[in-house]
């Protein structure tokens, strides 16, 4: 049993993390913090925990959490972790950060896209990008894990095998992504009120969403060179789920089976990545509530493009589930521990 701290439990990702950890056989939740709700009981913030989690949320105190916990999950906005995490903290505890601070290796790019100064440049080398299926081997033994973003997890995993094998032109990549509203967080905002979201769909932050450089960096590693992509997020009237529809030009003519072989090579042994059958495409309902990534593709001979579709639950594989998967890797548990729950449907 390891002791866990959750900083930022009051957001949707924090709430989901609690749900998963409460069912994890190797974990005890020791401390929870929630900035604006400090002093409140967790089941007052989230009544789903009525009678089953009556812990009180404290104010964020990293030193104390680090002292008492083997691992601290930071489900907080960007800019917090880079200030709060120090080498001293990392000596005492493992940090798995849901924010963006340690995801990009290049702090200048971070500062450009996020518009704030990076306060933790000294730790960037110690951090690892926690995309489990890709970086599993270098995650082991690390103390600072940058848990990937929701859109990025879905987009990178969907496209990476094609980029790595050099069968698509990376400069033609376009990712058109659709997210449920929980991706926007629990903060009050007119745009996220029921009547403003329901019965509507919109694109937002076109060509300017902060997950763009994260996708570019990771796919760039696979390509062996810098790449630039188009990324457009959309808001969909549903609670959970991300669907990424990805377009790219093939550099040569390939059959369905050729491409299938590539995906099998990369993901054939991955429990959490499921390839759909030919002619079947992922839908978010089939992954909801689970840590799965579903991936399917179609080759369009008319245009010479491939269309790859990926689906995840943004709060699980896109946040809390992947964070726990990272924890499992770091602490040497079976990677699937506490994460094997099937998707829930209809839900």
Residues between 170 and 229 with contacts to a second copy, criterion CB under 8 A: 174, 176, 178, 180-182, 186, 188-190, 192-204, 206-207, 228-229
Name the one range near a second copy by CB under 8 A: 26-34, 92-100, 122-130, 272-280: 272-280
The Cα–Cα gap between 203 and 90 comes to 39
User: Is residue 150 annotated as part of the catalytic site, yes or no?
Assistant: yes
The Cα–Cα gap between 224 and 163 comes to 9
The Cα–Cα gap between 15 and 136 comes to 25
Kindly state the smallest distance separating residue 311's Cβ from a second copy, in Å. 8
Determine the 3-state secondary structure of 25 from DSSP. Answer: coil
CA distances from 283 to 11, 99, 114, 278, 318 (A): 25, 26, 31, 14, 15
Binding mask 59-98 for a second copy (x = CB under 8 A): ----------------------------------------
Helix or strand holding residue 310 (H, E): strand 305-312
Name the one range near a second copy by CB under 8 A: 47-55, 80-88, 89-97, 128-136: 47-55
Question: Which of 130/241 has CB closer to a second copy?
Answer: 241
245: left (phi over 0), alpha (psi -120 to 50) or beta: beta
Name the one range near a second copy by CB under 8 A: 83-91, 127-135, 148-156, 279-287: 279-287
Question: Which of 2/203 has CB closer to a second copy?
Answer: 203
**DSSP 8-class letter at 291:** S
In the window 328-347, what residues touch a second copy (CB under 8 A)? 340-347
Kindly state the smallest distance separating residue 61's Cβ from a second copy, in Å. 26
Give yes or no for residue 25 binding a second copy (CB under 8 A).
no
Kindly state the smallest distance separating residue 300's Cβ from a second copy, in Å. 4
For tokens 């007052």, name the residue. 44
For tokens 């930022």, name the residue. 8
Question: Do residues 21 and 29 lie in contact, with contact meaning Cβ atoms separated by under 8 Å?
Answer: yes
Question: Do residues 1 and 26 lie in contact, with contact meaning Cβ atoms separated by under 8 Å?
Answer: yes
| Annotated catalytic residue within 150, 154, 197, 246 | 150
The Cα–Cα gap between 127 and 125 comes to 6
Question: Which of 46/102 has CB closer to a second copy?
Answer: 46
CA distances from 163 to 28, 221, 222, 346 (A): 40, 9, 6, 34
Give yes or no for residue 133 binding a second copy (CB under 8 A).
no
Kindly state the smallest distance separating residue 226's Cβ from a second copy, in Å. 12
Kindly state the smallest distance separating residue 137's Cβ from a second copy, in Å. 23
Kindly state the smallest distance separating residue 267's Cβ from a second copy, in Å. 11
Question: Which of 143/240 has CB closer to a second copy?
Answer: 240
**Binding residue for a second copy (CB under 8 A) from 220, 239, 251, 331?**
239
The Cα–Cα gap between 19 and 247 comes to 35
Question: Which of 1/188 has CB closer to a second copy?
Answer: 188
Active site (catalytic) residues: 150
């Amino acid at each position: 049993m390891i002791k866990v701290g959750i900083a930022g439990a009051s957001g949707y990702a924090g709430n989901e993390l609690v749900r998963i950890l409460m069912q994890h056989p190797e974990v005890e939740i020791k401390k929870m913090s929630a900035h604006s709700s400090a002093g409140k009981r967790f089941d007052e913030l989230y009544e789903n925990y009525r009678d089953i989690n009556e812990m009180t949320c404290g104010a964020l105190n990293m030193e104390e959490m680090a002292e008492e916990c083997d691992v601290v999950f930071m489900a907080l906005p960007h800019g917090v972790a880079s200030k709060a995490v120090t080498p001293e903290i990392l000596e005492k505890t493992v940090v798995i950060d849901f924010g963006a601070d340690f995801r990009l290796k290049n702090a200048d790019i971070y500062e450009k896209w996020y518009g704030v100064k990076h306060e933790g440049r000294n730790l960037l080398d110690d951090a690892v990008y926690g995309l489990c299926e890709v970086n599993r081997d270098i995650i082991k033994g690390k103390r600072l894990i940058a848990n990937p973003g929701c859109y990025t997890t879905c987009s990178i995993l969907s496209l990476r095998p094609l980029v790595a094998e050099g069968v698509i032109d990376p400069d033609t990549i376009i990712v058109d992504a659709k997210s449920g509203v929980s991706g926007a967080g629990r903060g009050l905002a007119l745009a996220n009120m029921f009547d403003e979201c329901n019965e509507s769909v919109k694109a937002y932050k076109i060509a300017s969403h902060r997950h763009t450089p994260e996708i570019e960096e990771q796919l760039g590693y696979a390509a062996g060179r810098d790449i630039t992509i188009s990324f457009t997020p959309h808001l969909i009237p549903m609670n959970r789920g991300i669907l990424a529809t990805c377009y790219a030009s093939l550099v040569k003519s390939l059959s369905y089976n050729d491409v299938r072989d590539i995906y099998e090579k990369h993901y054939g042994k991955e429990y959490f990545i499921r390839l759909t059958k030919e002619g079947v495409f992922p839908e978010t309902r089939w992954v909801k509530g689970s840590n799965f990534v579903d991936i399917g593709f179609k080759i369009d001979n008319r245009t010479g493009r491939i269309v790859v579709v990926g689906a995840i639950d943004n709060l699980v594989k896109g946040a809390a589930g992947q964070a726990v998967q990272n924890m499992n890797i770091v602490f040497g548990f079976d990677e699937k521990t506490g994460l094997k729950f099937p998707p829930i449907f209809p839900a």
